[in-house]
Amino acid sequence: MSEKNVKDLGFQTRAVHTGNGVDGETGAIKRPITMANSYELPYDPSDLNWSSAGKNLYTRNGGSNQQYLQEKVASLEGGEDCVVLASGVAALSGLFFALLKSGDHVIFSSVTYIAVYRLLNELLNNKFGVETTIVDTSDPENVRKAIRPNTKLIHIETPGNPTLTISDIKAIADIAHENNALLSVDNTFASPYNQRPVELGADFSIESLTKYINGHGDAMGGAIIGKKEYLDIIRAQSQINLGATISPFNAWLIMRGAVTLPLRMKQHNENALKVAKYLKTVKGVSFVAYPGLKDHPNHDIAKKQMTNGFGGVLSFGLKADHDTYNRFVSYLNVITSAVSLGHDESLIVFLGENDERQYLYPEEFHNGFFRFSVGIEDAEDIIADLEQAFKKENLL
């Protein structure tokens, strides 16, 4: 397909075609993996900038597979540019370290992936003098109240891991911009199929490519999507000088996985809603947190900004003790006990009562709960697997 026209095509078409092309050397209609670390130098290399990202020089500076994936992810997220890095956490730390300096202030969601909490509230705060405020961003007014003259960045995660808290991207982007601050949104739980933060006004969207975009649980990667003026800084500092480069093989795997993102997300969205509705009928379930349920506290905002569905992750609690949670998991056959999410297969993780951040979560999460990444298997098989485990513990 001619690459000129790809930009104007639909989401599924871009998922298939963007970043792919005919290989110039062999004529293959899939671009190959280039695993070389180094590239041939020109006759006189003495005036080359060894820290430049622009040309093929050294794989830490960039390479063709990274470039192809960047094109695809930027296109799917509706962003001007994209940097892909070694993991989702590399993308998050890459953004924070490149943008923030000592004396700057950051506001971030009370519900985020644990590494965000560690990076902002411990590392950048204690070692590098960055001021931090944690707020419940499900109410944008809490963000407005926390703004200081030196607020440089607001970072939110929506839906948030692990409570599925929803924050209003557009409202918080307006607050950020009225106050000369930037907004970054961790979009990992939604994926660009369901939600595109940059189109809603955010300055940056962050993805753990490890999750839905790759989708097969066999590669790690991360992406930052936004304006080129900022991403050039991140590319120079976090990729080239800090060395958070993704391997060409992982970039190629993620490129391959991303082709079916829309198809997989349709199934994740559909299955998770079915499972959430089923769990609501189970007597021994104490609560179900899923933004697709009408009784989710921010269902209306989720509906407004998650235009294709609510994703595959939900959390739920049992009216049971610690040991029952572990026994329940041991009965499961289709669903695997493992961290991560957004894989093809269903994954469940028991998050116990001793999480140090529990004070930041709603009360129902304080006695332990499951985070459940609903996979793309047949929904009937997932539900039957849960049902037989509930039965064994008399929880039905």
Ligand X SMILES: Cc1ncc(COP(=O)(O)O)c(C=O)c1O
Closest by Cα among 284, 246, 215, 279 to 87: 246
Residue nearest ligand X by beta-carbon distance: 88
Q: Which stretch binds ligand X (CB under 6 A): 81-89, 96-104, 143-151, 365-373?
A: 81-89
Residues numbered 10-69 forming contacts with ligand X, rule: CB under 6 A: none
User: Which residue in 59, 75, 210, 315 binds ligand X (CB under 6 A)?
Assistant: 210
Q: What amino acid occupies position 82?
A: C
Does residue 390 sit in helix, strand or coil? helix
Which of 254, 383 has the CB closer to ligand X?
A: 254
**Scanning the structure block, which residue is given the tokens 């009562």?**
353
Q: Does 208 bind ligand X (CB under 6 A)?
A: yes
Rounded Cα–Cα distance for residues 163 and 140 (Å): 18
Binding string to ligand X for residues 82 to 101, with x set by CB under 6 A, is what?
Answer: -----xxx------------
Q: Does 110 bind ligand X (CB under 6 A)?
A: no
Task: Name the strand (E) or helix (H) holding 216.
Answer: none
Which of 20, 167 has the CB closer to ligand X?
A: 167
Q: Which stretch binds ligand X (CB under 6 A): 141-149, 186-194, 283-291, 376-384?
A: 186-194
User: Which residue in 77, 186, 203, 385 binds ligand X (CB under 6 A)?
Assistant: 186
Q: Does 188 bind ligand X (CB under 6 A)?
A: yes
Pair of tokens at residue 246: 């993704």
Which of 57, 254 has the CB closer to ligand X?
A: 254
Question: What is the closest distance, in whole angstroms, from the C-beta atom of residue 395 to ligand X in the complex?
Answer: 27
Which of 17, 342 has the CB closer to ligand X?
A: 342
Q: How many helices (H) and strands (E) in the chain?
A: 14, 12
Cα 104 to chain centroid, rounded? 25
Question: What is the closest distance, in whole angstroms, from the C-beta atom of residue 157 to ligand X in the complex?
Answer: 6
Number of residues near ligand X (by CB under 6 A) = 13
DSSP per-residue letters across 114-129: HHHHIIIIIIIIIIH-
Which of 143, 190 has the CB closer to ligand X?
A: 190
Burial state string for 19-40 with b = 16 or more CB within 10 A and e = fewer than 16: bbbeeeeeeeeebebbeeeeee
Closest by Cα among 334, 359, 338 to 347: 338
Closest by Cα among 97, 185, 96 to 137: 185
Does residue 83 sit in helix, strand or coil? strand
Does residue 175 sit in helix, strand or coil? helix
Residues numbered 214-233 forming contacts with ligand X, rule: CB under 6 A: 220, 222
Residues numbered 125-164 forming contacts with ligand X, rule: CB under 6 A: 157, 161
Which of 117, 390 has the CB closer to ligand X?
A: 117
Which of 17, 155 has the CB closer to ligand X?
A: 155
Closest by Cα among 276, 396, 274 to 331: 396
Q: Does 361 bind ligand X (CB under 6 A)?
A: no
The residue count for the chain: 396
Question: What is the closest distance, in whole angstroms, from the C-beta atom of residue 293 to ligand X in the complex?
Answer: 20
Does residue 23 sit in helix, strand or coil? coil
Q: Does 194 bind ligand X (CB under 6 A)?
A: no
Question: What is the closest distance, in whole angstroms, from the C-beta atom of residue 100 to ligand X in the complex?
Answer: 18
Which of 336, 388 has the CB closer to ligand X?
A: 336
Which of 6, 258 has the CB closer to ligand X?
A: 258
Taking the chain, what is the end-to-end CA distance rounded to the nearest angstrom?
53
Which of 161, 195 has the CB closer to ligand X?
A: 161
Q: Which stretch binds ligand X (CB under 6 A): 183-191, 194-202, 229-237, 290-298?
A: 183-191
**Scanning the structure block, which residue is given the tokens 């001619």?**
2
Answer for the pair 171, 189: CB distance below 8 angstroms, yes or no: no
- Which distant-in-sequence residues (6+ apart) come within 8 Å of 112 by Cβ? 155, 157, 160, 161, 186
Question: What is the closest distance, in whole angstroms, from the C-beta atom of residue 210 to ligand X in the complex?
Answer: 4
Binding-site ranges for ligand X (CB under 6 A) = 87-89, 113, 157, 161, 186, 188-189, 208, 210, 220, 222
